[in-house]
Amino acid sequence: MQKLIVIKIGGQAIHQLQPTFFTQLQHWLDQDYQLLIVHGGGPMITQLTDELALPVKKVNGLRVTDAATLNLTKLALLGDAQPALLSQLSQHGLPVLGLNAADNQLLTGKLVDYQQLGYVGRITAVDDNQLSQLLAHHIGVLAPLALTENGQWLNVNADMAATVLAQQLHAEKLVLLTDVPGIMHHGNLMTSLSPHQAQRLIQTAVITAGMQPKVRAAIAAIQTGVKQAVITNAIDRPGTAIIQEVAV
């Protein structure tokens, strides 16, 4: 795989992207990076479930996904969130390609815990050869859905999906977009943290519940070979970088 940057963007952020987002993507392309964007669609899914009066239940931050919710999730991600993001990228002259698990079994997954979560899955295999060919000429825009070996669709947490893809594709960098500049401590932005330092801040509640899933995702990426994982609210700003431990 050529040098790669994986970017995770939430559904809410899709409609709040600033011009610098598109400028930075073009800058990376000019530097010969391959780019893969993993997008969420939480607000779109919630809107559909509200309109149809379907119950919403979450366990440890994961949306319990029965058959009806799974169908709405696919509709929200592939029929709303992804087209909206592709449209914006295209309008800024960027070469883009919408991707999902059904593209020749691009992402294979397994159920996490059907009794507790329903059709929530985790990615177990990535077709890196196919992705490498697709990303050679396009920015990939990928929905966090997977297929089991038997063809069952699975709903995958977008942060987890981006992390696994960064690991499997040996990305140089994982960027987790959020709604804050990074990890704050006493009102100051912490520009870099080792996994050990980050774990200590979680244990002492400096890093609170809302940020913890992203920090844990960043740590997992770093510990499995990704050189740098960044938590930020804008890809052109440094944010907080989770970096490899320095050997002494």
Q: Which two tokens stand for residue 210?
A: 């809302």
216 is in an annotated binding site: no
Catalytic residue, chosen from 40, 74, 118, 159, is 159
Q: Is 200 annotated as a binding residue?
A: no
Q: Which residue out of 10, 140, 214, 239 is catalytically annotated?
A: 214
What are the structure tokens assigned to 86, written together?
């592709």
Q: Which two tokens stand for residue 231?
A: 């938590």
Q: Is 151 one of the catalytic residues?
A: no
8 among known catalytic residues: yes
Placement of tokens 């844990």 in the chain:
216
Q: Is 155 one of the annotated binding-site residues?
A: yes
Return the closest-CA partner of residue 107 out of 84, 130, 137.
130
User: One of 3, 42, 103, 128 is an active-site residue; which one?
Assistant: 42
Q: Is 11 a catalytic residue?
A: yes
Angle between helices 19-30 and 82-91 (to 10 degrees): 70
Q: Tell me the sheet residues that pair with 184.
A: 189
Is 63 known as a binding-site position? yes
Q: Binding-site residues for substrate, please?
A: 41-42, 63, 155
Which residues are catalytically annotated?
A: 8, 11, 42, 159, 214
Q: Binding-site residues, please?
A: 41-42, 63, 155
